[in-house]
Structure 1
Amino acid sequence: MTTVGFLYPGHFAEDDYPRMEILLDSTIRLVVRHTESPDDSYREDALRELGAPGRLAAGIGELQRSGVQCVVWACDGGSFLYGPQGAHDQVMALAREAGVPASSTSIGFVHAVRKLGANRVAVAATYPEDIAARFTAFLRAAGMEVVATHAAGVADATEAAAWGPDRVRELAAAADRPEADAVLLPDTALHTIGHLTELEEALGKPVLTANQVSVREALRLADRPAWAPRLGALFAALESPPAPVTWGSGRMYAHGGRR
């Protein structure tokens, strides 16, 4: 049995995780523990507060008791808004606290893009423009070529969680460009798992969404390949995990708590 853990802020689209567990191999268990989300606004100060060390550490004990083999901070804005170095430091601290490898959704997006071999991506973000721009900057710092960014201007996670498949599809289509090899939808408050294949069929290319990427990142850390075509191109083939992301300094980035 492979058991992987997630720290998820608040209660928005966490039902995506049991959906994914059903679609994955029966020997894979996804354990979700919630962290406090006192302010679900998509403002920089509120999003950064979600990733505060004490807030993350408070959820570790329950995950440890569940026997998880790794932990993923299932949050975008509470990670990429710290910048590349800050996001790295955040998950290294999480790994030390948990005693198992750790990563985050934001870092998982970079690994997922590399797994697909996508050279150019488009970003379809629920966020306001300033927050979406910070996610784009995070990707570019990791060497991604972002050909377009579309920001929907959603005010908070509650609003994002209420979106249905049609609005998600409209968001993805608004960001897509012919030259994009994949479309990325950050925001773990957005429900996407029930219609990933429809999204990819509509756009004719891979679509990466936050909760999907979070699970793939956890399985990467656990060295557990998984095949689940209904979870999109990211899970459509059994492959060895890619090398962890490295940055200009050559430092290893969010891989098993090692440098």
Structure 2
Amino acid sequence: MTALGFLYPGHSGEDDYPRIEQLLGSDIRVDLVHTDIGEDAHRVDALREMGSEQRLAAGVQELRHAGAEAVVWACTSGSFVHGWEGAQQQVRALAAAAGMPASSTSFAFVHALRELEVRRVAIGATYPEDVAGLFADFLRAAGVEVVGVRSSGIVTAAEVGTWGEPEVLALARAADHPEAEAILLPDTALHTAAHIPALEKELAKPVLTANQVTVWEALRLADRRVNAPELGALFTREPIVQV
């Protein structure tokens, strides 16, 4: 049994995680601990506070008791708003507090893009424009070319959590760009786990969503690969054979 630990802020799109667990197979367990969200606002100061070391450290003891082998801060905006260096420090502090390998959704996107060998992306963000721009800057710091950013201007995670498949598809279509090799939907408050096959069929390219890459990142940290086509192109990569 591989146990994966996640720190998820508040309550919005967290039911993606049991859905993903079901698709992964019976030997993988997804443990979710909810962190204190503070103020529900896609605003830089509120997002930095939401991802503070103290708030994250408060949730790790429960994951340790559950036997988690790795932990991921399941929040994109609450990591990339710290910038590249700040997000790295956030992860280092989380790993030290948890006593296990750690990452965040922002780095999950970077590692997933490297896995798929994708260099040019378009972003479909629920966030206001300034916050969406910070995510683009974070990706650029990782060497990713961002060819387009679409912002929906939504201020709260609570509102994002009410979106269904029609809204998610509309966002992805609006974000698509002819030069993009993949589309990124970066909000963990957005329900996407049930829609990834439809998204990739519609756009004819990989679609990476926040909760999807977050679980993939935890599997990467735990040195596990799982073939799960229902979770998109990212989960259909064959293990690398060492010669």
Q: Same fold (TM over 0.5)?
A: yes
What per-residue deviation string (whole Å, max 9, x for no partner) do you get for residues 42-92 of structure 1?
111111111011100000110000000010000011100000000000010
Residue identity matched to 1:183: I
Counterpart residue number, 2:238: 238
Counterpart residue number, 2:79: 79
Counterpart residue number, 1:50: 50
* Structure 1 position 27, deviation (Å): 0.5
What per-residue deviation string (whole Å, max 9, x for no partner) do you get for residues 154-201 of structure 1?
111011000111111111111101111000000100000011100000
* Structure 1 position 238, deviation (Å): 2.9
Residue identity matched to 2:60: I
Counterpart residue number, 2:198: 198
Q: 2: CA distance between counterparts of 1:84 and 1:237?
A: 27
Give the structure-1-normalised TM-score: 0.92
Q: 1: CA distance between counterparts of 2:84 and 2:240?
A: 25
Residue identity matched to 1:14: E
Q: 2: CA distance between counterparts of 1:115 and 1:121?
A: 14
What per-residue deviation string (whole Å, max 9, x for no partner) do you get for residues 221-249 of structure 1?
000011100000110123249xxxxxxxx
Counterpart residue number, 2:181: 181
What per-residue deviation string (whole Å, max 9, x for no partner) do you get for residues 7-51 of structure 1?
000011100000000000211111000000121111111111110
- The answer to whether structure 1 residue 218 and structure 2 residue 202 are counterparts is no
Q: 2: CA distance between counterparts of 1:152 and 1:106?
A: 19
Residue identity matched to 2:211: N
Q: 2: CA distance between counterparts of 1:137 and 1:218?
A: 24
Alignment of 1:1-259 (within 5 A): 1-240=1-240
Q: 1: CA distance between counterparts of 2:105 and 2:144?
A: 16
Q: Structure 2: which 5+ runs fail to align?
A: none
Q: 1: CA distance between counterparts of 2:238 and 2:166?
A: 30
Residue identity matched to 1:51: G
Residue identity matched to 1:110: V
RMSD: 1.0
Moved runs in structure 1, 4+ residues, more than 2 A?
237-241
Residue identity matched to 2:19: R
Q: Structure 1: which 5+ runs fail to align?
A: 242-259
Q: 1: CA distance between counterparts of 2:88 and 2:179?
A: 30
Bigger shift: residues 129-138 or 42-51:
42-51
- Contact 1:225-1:240 within 8 A present in 2 as well: no
What per-residue deviation string (whole Å, max 9, x for no partner) do you get for residues 79-119 of structure 1?
00000000000010110111100000000000001111112
Bigger shift: residues 8-17 or 39-48:
39-48
- Contact 1:200-1:207 within 8 A present in 2 as well: yes
SS at structure 2 position matched to 1:111: helix
- Contact 1:75-1:104 within 8 A present in 2 as well: yes
